[in-house]
Structure 1
Amino acid sequence: MRKKMLQKIGVAVVSGAMIVSALTGCGSSEKTDKSASASAAKSAATSSAKTSTASGTKAKDYSGVKLVYWSSWEATEPQGMVVAEAIEDYEKETGIDIEVEFKGRKGIKEGLIPALDANQQIDFFDGAGNKSNYGDRIISLEDLVKEHNYEPRSNPTMMKLFRSYNDGVLKEIPFQFKANSYLYNKKLFRQAGIEKAPANWSEFLTACQKLKDAGITPITTDDAYVPQAFGMHLGRLVGSEGLKKIVNENGWDRPEVLQTANDLADLAAKGYFSELVASNVYPTGQNTEFATGKAAMYCVGTYMVNEVKNITGPDFEWGFFAYPEVNNGINGTEAMVIGGQSFAITSKCKNPEAAFGFIEKMTRGKFDEKLGKESISITADTENKNWPEQLADVKPYFDNCTEIMGGAESNPDITPALKENLIKLYSGKITGAEFVANMKAAAGK
């Protein structure tokens, strides 16, 4: 019953006024009472004209089966609304009963493991990728993926990434992808006479200078995201594993760290960073500088587009380019910071086939495309070619990505010092050499 009530909440929001704080709605119809809905679902499930699933196979009859699904979304978020609509559709197809609890990010992070350990029924859940901390509380999905012929319509790099979280075994189905690099304002680029996105460091510097000459602030950031550009720049020089080794094993005296720090200090010396970068506390730079058209570039994940859509409005011209290739680098734009959310099935689930059927519905075809559109995110189904227009520039980079980068914040003990010193570096308060010395000292404590 809780699930039915939450779905009605989502419907009410859709039919009401526009949602504030960066939320958008999607259509849904008012449900009938539970008994009538269950009767119709069972009838539909046993009908010879049964609806097909996203993979093209006929939906199975799961009449009498009940699953409990914990979601990391809120019922009023675009993602939660699409989930509610997909559940209703899946129930009608199969006769199954899915009780969904919209727990939000905090609810999943803090409550899921204790609930599972207390033997509470939770059959499957979604949330941030990398669920390695769940151990044997979640099951391998390898056999289900094979049985459903799921992999051919999956991004191979993402599947490799999510297998890596659990020693090469797929325990998570990735969805709602994101890519991290420079999002930029195409209108401001045109005003500065920049005809194409920069592909290497020289072109990036040229673009910054043209923006500055046009009276436009080239780059802004916030305290929450200052490690982004640093990690990508250093990752171009040492790769992802090298980056993690530096951060976790006090490798700050490597020459590549100094090169990265000097390159970023050069941006500050030339006046390419916002004058407010030293005081920007998230989301100040994002909302009051970039989204309002006062700064041209912001290094962050593509999820930001959804976060600021109520500020930018429909006429904002979104651009994206992978982090530029750098001098003496060992990789190029084929190496990116990408990731996503994921679904997992718990070891307590008595009907994993039924749970996987819903996961497939959410990550294939209609609902995968709808999720991308409503939350302005990257779709999981490679056959869904219609990406949100705001992310059109992301697609060629994402499709060509063969190497995952990342790891600048893999050591939580050093992250505060990293952020503090990067803010000083970006605001011109310290040199590249001083940054290296400060990080060595912080790591040696």
Structure 2
Amino acid sequence: MRKTKAITVLLILCLAAFVVLSGCGGNKNEASSPEQASGNASENASETPSAQASPEASKLGGKVVFWSMWSNTEPQSKVITEAISEFKAANPGVDVEVKFNGRELFKLIKPALESGETVDVFEYDPAGALANLKDHVLKLDDLLEQPAIGSDGKSVKDSLLPALMNNVKSLSKTAGLEEGYYALPQQPYAVLFFYNKALFQKAGITSVPKSWEEFLAACEALKKAGVEPITFDDAYRDQFIGGYLSSAMGSDWVKALVTDKTGAMWKDPMVLQFAKDMQALHEKGYFSKTIGGNKYPAGQQDVALGKSAMYFNGTWLPNEVSATAGPDFQWGSFQFPIIPNGNDKGGQQGLSFGAQGILLNKNSKNIPAAFELMKYLVGKKAQEGMAVQALAIPATVDTPWPSSLAEAAVAFDKATVNMPWGFSINSGADFSSGSVIPVFMELVTGKINAEQYVAKMESEAKKFYGGK
């Protein structure tokens, strides 16, 4: 009797699996609207491009444990959940356990990997992962030749934005690993000025500023229209100082500046020019009146509320303030203006961009299924979901960007130099956080003038690096 029941149950399960798999071979059209993209996984199963999964996908089994850097309340988690549902429909023999850790993942993942806890796939900033977790990540080069999910026969490698793939590959050499790809890029970002188009129109500004002179003119027009031109808060103030200096001299020069043990570079004419320009922005009232005390997310909320016009921030900004800004907010973006008297190593040829990444634990006991799941997470439909539901930059080629990031896409496409996070202003580590940024804030709030800034930074550098 037990044997008969077991056979019956097995037949039912097989029939159910056949029905699910059959449902995946229908309409291959991708979700093109919020309504389509936000449907549940079972409703969208017929639109899943699972027919393009690797030939052995349906034979995969076992368990895959995936740790995500998103919390289960963020829109990214919904897209991930939908992608996992589609993966499971195409691979019914695989059990997927997902843990939405939020940003706590960055604290938890290293101890987990070092203790041997089962984590097959995890999200992490690729640069940070290769610096801190390089003994735990698998080189993916051979796996990247597999067909991508939903990308018209492209390989996984060719389905993802070349700029991001090149960036990921370059990180391996920096980390001292064998050159190659150790992460699949996702959730790309770029750092630009984000602005309120309605306020620009109110001030009569008809085009975004490209030069510093045009930037100052825009600030003056905004001020006359009763709008505070510029804001930032403590989370991203490093971007502003790094953006100016790198636009003038390039990020390599900025790195040399903040790591100069003699302090002599702080007497460079460009530093004084920078300081005078910051002093002028303060004296002319172009900085927000609350900029000195802004704690994250105060500055970006001021932009969303229309109190301030511009914030030099990342492409995640429209999503982070979407609840405050509302659906009708008109976002625009532009690169940091070209600074005069530079060395031709900066300008708008450079852009600070990168991506979060999905990585595979090299000690995973189920690498084939784990990588197949990764393919779904960076597949065409999932990345379209990220663009629609999370207002994020999609990592796949030929995928439309959110309208709020349309101008960022232009900057992304034309950039030829990838500048690091903060444009290297943070390369001084404790010196950057303990001296460079605090003294910068003294300057922009009028506590010291340009000449005092130069003298103080030279002194601070000598004091910090003395004897090192």
Instruction: Name the TM-score class by shorter chain.
Output: 0.7 to 0.9
Q: How does 1:201-240 map to 2 (within 5 A)?
A: 201-240=212-251
CA distance in 1, matches of 2:370, 2:91: 12
What corresponds to 2:446 in structure 1?
A: 428
Once the two structures are TM-superposed, the CA of residue 389 in structure 1 deviates from its matched residue by 1.6
- Secondary structure of 1:91's counterpart equals helix
- Decide whether aligned partners of structure 1 residues 357 and 255 sit closer, same or farther in structure 2, where only a CA change above 3 A counts: farther
- Secondary structure of 1:70's counterpart equals strand
- Decide whether aligned partners of structure 1 residues 425 and 119 sit closer, same or farther in structure 2, where only a CA change above 3 A counts: same
**Contact map agreement 2:61 2:369 (CA 8 A) in 1:** no
- Decide whether aligned partners of structure 1 residues 59 and 93 sit closer, same or farther in structure 2, where only a CA change above 3 A counts: farther
What corresponds to 2:87 in structure 1?
A: 90
**Contact map agreement 2:60 2:369 (CA 8 A) in 1:** no
Which of 351, 361, 366 is the matching residue for 1:336?
Answer: 351
Deviates more, 1:340-349 or 1:403-412: 403-412
Query: What amino acid maps onto 2:292 in structure 1?
Result: A
Is 1:381 equivalent to 2:387 in the alignment?
no
Once the two structures are TM-superposed, the CA of residue 429 in structure 1 deviates from its matched residue by 2.1
Q: How does 1:374-413 map to 2 (within 5 A)?
A: 374-385=389-400, 387-405=401-419, 406-413=423-430
Once the two structures are TM-superposed, the CA of residue 52 in structure 1 deviates from its matched residue by 4.1
CA distance in 2, matches of 1:433, 1:49: 69
**Contact map agreement 1:181 1:229 (CA 8 A) in 2:** no
- Secondary structure of 2:124's counterpart equals strand
Once the two structures are TM-superposed, the CA of residue 65 in structure 1 deviates from its matched residue by 2.2
Deviates more, 1:207-216 or 1:149-158: 149-158
What corresponds to 2:38 in structure 1?
A: none
What corresponds to 2:209 in structure 1?
A: 198
- Decide whether aligned partners of structure 1 residues 433 and 162 sit closer, same or farther in structure 2, where only a CA change above 3 A counts: farther
- Decide whether aligned partners of structure 1 residues 264 and 40 sit closer, same or farther in structure 2, where only a CA change above 3 A counts: farther
**Contact map agreement 1:157 1:401 (CA 8 A) in 2:** no
Query: What amino acid maps onto 1:408 in structure 2?
Result: I
- Decide whether aligned partners of structure 1 residues 435 and 164 sit closer, same or farther in structure 2, where only a CA change above 3 A counts: farther
What corresponds to 2:133 in structure 1?
A: 134
TM-score, normalising length: structure 1:
0.85
- Decide whether aligned partners of structure 1 residues 52 and 186 sit closer, same or farther in structure 2, where only a CA change above 3 A counts: closer
- Decide whether aligned partners of structure 1 residues 264 and 38 sit closer, same or farther in structure 2, where only a CA change above 3 A counts: farther
Which of 361, 369, 393 is the matching residue for 1:354?
Answer: 369
Once the two structures are TM-superposed, the CA of residue 256 in structure 1 deviates from its matched residue by 2.6
Query: What amino acid maps onto 1:258 in structure 2?
Result: L
Which of 312, 319, 333 is the matching residue for 1:306?
Answer: 319
Once the two structures are TM-superposed, the CA of residue 110 in structure 1 deviates from its matched residue by 1.7
- Decide whether aligned partners of structure 1 residues 364 and 254 sit closer, same or farther in structure 2, where only a CA change above 3 A counts: farther
What corresponds to 1:112 in structure 2?
A: 109
Is 1:268 equivalent to 2:282 in the alignment?
yes
CA distance in 2, matches of 1:38, 1:408: 59
Q: How does 1:12-51 map to 2 (within 5 A)?
A: 40-41=16-17, 44=20
CA distance in 2, matches of 1:63, 1:181: 43
**Contact map agreement 2:282 2:446 (CA 8 A) in 1:** yes
CA distance in 2, matches of 1:76, 1:210: 40
- Decide whether aligned partners of structure 1 residues 144 and 252 sit closer, same or farther in structure 2, where only a CA change above 3 A counts: farther
- Decide whether aligned partners of structure 1 residues 54 and 187 sit closer, same or farther in structure 2, where only a CA change above 3 A counts: farther
What corresponds to 1:294 in structure 2?
A: 307
Query: What amino acid maps onto 1:430 in structure 2?
Result: I
**Contact map agreement 2:278 2:443 (CA 8 A) in 1:** yes
CA distance in 1, matches of 2:415, 2:12: 48
- Secondary structure of 1:271's counterpart equals coil
- Decide whether aligned partners of structure 1 residues 293 and 112 sit closer, same or farther in structure 2, where only a CA change above 3 A counts: same
Which of 119, 124, 128 is the matching residue for 1:122?
Answer: 119
Query: What amino acid maps onto 1:99 in structure 2?
Result: E
**Contact map agreement 2:186 2:357 (CA 8 A) in 1:** yes
What corresponds to 1:178 in structure 2?
A: 189
- Secondary structure of 2:76's counterpart equals helix
CA distance in 1, matches of 2:24, 2:285: 69
CA distance in 1, matches of 2:297, 2:447: 22
Query: What amino acid maps onto 1:272 in structure 2?
Result: Y
What are the Cα deviations for residues 149-207 of structure 1, in whole angstroms up to 9, with x where unaligned? 22323222222222222214211111111111210010110011100111111111111
RMSD: 2.4
Name stretches of at least 5 consecutive residues in structure 1 with no aligned partner.
1-34
Structure possessing the higher radius of gyration over alpha carbons: 2
Deviates more, 1:407-416 or 1:52-61: 52-61
- Decide whether aligned partners of structure 1 residues 301 and 164 sit closer, same or farther in structure 2, where only a CA change above 3 A counts: same
- Secondary structure of 1:418's counterpart equals helix
- Secondary structure of 2:257's counterpart equals helix
CA distance in 2, matches of 1:54, 1:399: 31
- Secondary structure of 2:267's counterpart equals coil
Once the two structures are TM-superposed, the CA of residue 114 in structure 1 deviates from its matched residue by 1.3
CA distance in 1, matches of 2:368, 2:273: 52
More helix by share: 2
CA distance in 2, matches of 1:49, 1:185: 44
Name stretches of at least 5 consecutive residues in structure 2 with no aligned partner.
1-10, 27-47, 148-154, 174-178
What are the Cα deviations for residues 288-312 of structure 1, in whole angstroms up to 9, with x where unaligned? x211101111111121211111111
Deviates more, 1:349-358 or 1:206-215: 349-358
Query: What amino acid maps onto 1:348 in structure 2?
Result: N
